Amino acid sequence: MDTFPLDEAPAYLILSYSWEGPRNAQASLKEYQEHRNWIIREHDGRHCLAIIRRNLYEALQRITTSVSQTRYIWCINQEDNVERGTQVSIMGEIYSLCTRVIIWLGIMDPYEASHVWNLHFQLVPEIPKYIAKHGADSIKTGDWTEEGLQERFNISEQALGPKHWTAYKRPFSKMRWFQRSWIVQEVALAPSAVVLFGHMQLAWEEMALLAMFLQRTGLDEQISEEESDEIEEDGVPGVVLEVFNNLATAAVALKTEAPETNWVRHRQTGIQLSTDPKDRIYAALGFLELDKSKAGKIVPNYSEECSTGQVFAGFTETILAEIPGLEILALREDSERSTKWPDLSSWAPDFTAPKGLLLVQEENSYCKEPPDCKVSGGMLWLEGFFTDETASVMSWETGDKTFAPGAKVLDTLRIWLSAVSHLIHESPYSEDPLEGLWRTLIANKTSEPNLPEIDSSHFRSFMAQTAIDTVDGIFEESGGETIVSPSIIAEPFPASDSKPCPSWLDDLQAIKARVKTSLYPKEEDVEGLEALYKKAGIFMARWLRFAVNRRLYVTLNGYVGLGPVSMRVADRITVINGSELLFLVRDKDAVHELVGETYVHGLSGEYNWDRRNAQKIELASILGYFNDIVLC
């Protein structure tokens, strides 16, 4: 073990691994708490015994069996808070100057490791060949299947079968490495990276290429469906690796580009795991490359005198001072449940809490400068005004990112239709009430990268599927209460592209009856039902992306919105000067508490920007100026 000034250090590697253990399972984490002995040579030639955790021991065993001309691996004394803070403050440089990052996923079954490696060996060389021959759009046709992949790439089922896919997808949901806070910097800033798993290894670029190919073709969703109980939404390979590959591409321009792009991408990774919660912040510093004169406010400090709440608030203040827009405030969710850090201000996000997708993003907003705000005495001072307030709040139960079929779907649809029933007679929207509803439910995200485009037909199909399933008896009587078809519930709403007409529902019911009772149903009947269920499923999947920890609500002025689960009646919808985002705030003595980001259809984002701007001008002329809004 030797110590060098960074600018005089010899060639060195960086080992990237999960400190507590390679897998998420509690049994595995408990098993990997055991320690092992490792002999280290000191700089004076003497040897000493180091006590290390089992996963590090297995990683070092794997590395030392490989032939490498690089003799040094960078390390840090985790028990020395001063050294730890000093090293973390220059982590961006440490990663940038290393020879390579070695990613250790962990010990893996030899057969599974071979299947993962063989999958890459078979597919990675063929992907660029296929794109060069057929064009980049050829992988976005939407008709890719596992069998079609074998045919297009001329690969047999024996060489590319279910066992390969099962082995391939498992690490993305089971291995803790993919959820570590530090991997963003490790992958993005290092000159190169290699992935080790069991006795196999892959170049990072190969792993990212295959994962993104599967995402573009839609194959990643197909292979996930086979074992849905084993794959979490955040563990889909393409979703995980595409973000990191984008980070690596962006890292080339880190020294010259503005930091906001990298902040947005870092936030989008949704990385959640770190042994010390402060590392949720410190792991971002090197990647963001903030102005050193301002970033000096964020000095890594692992001492007990510096609380986690102080670190979170300090980071939030720095981002507000340097990056246009108020997106970081949108990360503040469900403040009533964020009680782990008692000194955390209402305006500072709890970076350890699970985050839903942001309702509105300011990446391409009109904000060119950081917002006009200041922090004083733990209070955040902003300029803005209150444009509306919540009049009624609805709720739904989505469980843990899943939504069970059956009566639960119908109950939720009832809540939705009840929420917008007032729009039948008096609506602030130019479109039909049901369109205002479904656009709100998905935060008007009708178009997202690598996801199907959504329009009124998807919501219409969702209502139709629920209707024919209700008539078909899938939803049975519960608690002595008769289930009513959504077609009856929706009857008062005017005819529109979002509402299924009675004759179409009758036709669908007849088709479904024929398919169920026929030994050889007509192909067009089967395809018709499949198309209906596919469109309904697309809408449901999009809604679920925004439903977690959120509620539907109606404002005093009749608008429909989507807000945090902790929102209440009489929370105020607030426009902040210098931002496209809308926020909910709550009166608290002489100041206000930030509840969280909100989407209000007709007021939020670019969809109705002119309407919202007119509202702002009218209110501004009444008030005469933007009021000071103080968040505690």
Is 60 exceeded by the pLDDT of residue 445? yes
Q: Compute the average pLDDT of residues 183-196.
A: 84
Is 60 exceeded by the pLDDT of residue 240? no
Burial environment of residue 34 by CB neighbours within 10 A (0 to 12, 13 to 18, 19 or more) = exposed
In the structure encoding, which two tokens stand for residue 264, read together?
């947005």
Is 80 exceeded by the pLDDT of residue 345? yes
d(CA 492, CA 480): 25
**Partner residues linked to 573 by β-bridges:** 388, 584
Helix (H, G, I), strand (E, B) or coil at 14: strand
Is 70 exceeded by the pLDDT of residue 404? no
Is there a contact between 571 and 389 (Cβ–Cβ < 8 Å)? yes
d(CA 120, CA 113): 11
In the structure encoding, which two tokens stand for residue 529, read together?
């039902």
Of the two residues 580 and 522, the one the predictor is more confident about is 522
Angle CA(225)–CA(231)–CA(233) in degrees, nearest 5? 90
Is 80 exceeded by the pLDDT of residue 324? no
**Partner residues linked to 38 by β-bridges:** 50
User: For residue range 127-154, what is the model confidence (pLDDT) as tens digits?
Assistant: 999 999 988 888 877 678 888 888 888 8
Q: Compute the average pLDDT of residues 477-483.
A: 44
Going from N- to C-terminal start, the domains of the chain cover: 6-106, 274-398+549-632, 407-547
User: For residue range 357-395, what is the model confidence (pLDDT) as tens digits?
Assistant: 777 765 544 455 666 777 887 888 887 788 899 999 987
Taking Cα atoms as reference points, which of 97, 89, 22 lies closest to residue 56? 22
Of the two residues 311 and 624, the one the predictor is more confident about is 311
What's the confidence (pLDDT) of residue 264? 57
Burial environment of residue 381 by CB neighbours within 10 A (0 to 12, 13 to 18, 19 or more) = middle
Report the chain's mean pLDDT, rounded to a whole number. Answer: 77
Residue 453's alpha-carbon distances to 221, 446, 447, 448, in angstroms, are 17, 6, 5, 7
H or E segment to which residue 552 belongs: strand 550-555
Q: Compute the average pLDDT of residues 425-451.
A: 82
Is there a contact between 166 and 228 (Cβ–Cβ < 8 Å)? no
H or E segment to which residue 588 belongs: strand 582-588
In the structure encoding, which two tokens stand for residue 580, read together?
């496209």
What's the confidence (pLDDT) of residue 612? 40
